[in-house]
Amino acid sequence: MKLNEAVTQVGLEEDIEQAFARLYGSQIHPSTFIRWHQALRHIPAELLPKIQETSKLSPDEAFKVCCPDFVTLGVFMDAVIASRKPTAVVEEPAPEV
């Protein structure tokens, strides 16, 4: 909303701070915008269309759609351990002392 339009919507007896909160309370603050802008610069270009398509999903749901092949360290470790075939343990007799 343009400033001159907002000013016309403030009543004569209305508290100015309350009017500001009512008219501009949902605006994006510069620090928030800067954080978003910096984050976007680090997103691979091929992910941007997917992020826009999933904007109505929760962050967790959108992440699963955008990054379906994400693997945690724990899942990776479990898969590596499961893929290793156990080696046969050969017991040697203890040397006699």
Task: Report the pLDDT value the prediction gives residue 48, as an integer from 0 to 100.
Answer: 86
- If asked whether residues 9 and 25 sit together in one domain, one would say yes
84 Ramachandran zone, left/alpha/beta (phi>0; psi -120 to 50):
beta
Task: Report the pLDDT value the prediction gives residue 23, as an integer from 0 to 100.
Answer: 93
User: Reduced to 3 states, what is the DSSP secondary structure of residue 70?
Assistant: coil
Task: Report the pLDDT value the prediction gives residue 85, as an integer from 0 to 100.
Answer: 74
Spatial distance between the Cα atoms of 94 and 87, rounded to a whole number of angstroms: 20
The residue ranges of the chain whose pLDDT is under 50 are none
- If asked whether residues 36 and 3 sit together in one domain, one would say yes
Task: Report the pLDDT value the prediction gives residue 77, as an integer from 0 to 100.
Answer: 82
Task: Report the pLDDT value the prediction gives residue 80, as an integer from 0 to 100.
Answer: 83
- If asked whether residues 25 and 56 sit together in one domain, one would say no
Task: Report the pLDDT value the prediction gives residue 88, as an integer from 0 to 100.
Answer: 67
Task: Report the pLDDT value the prediction gives residue 82, as an integer from 0 to 100.
Answer: 82
Backbone angles phi, psi at 53, to 5 degrees: -65, -30
- If asked whether residues 36 and 59 sit together in one domain, one would say no
Cβ-contact 14, 29 below 8 angstroms: no
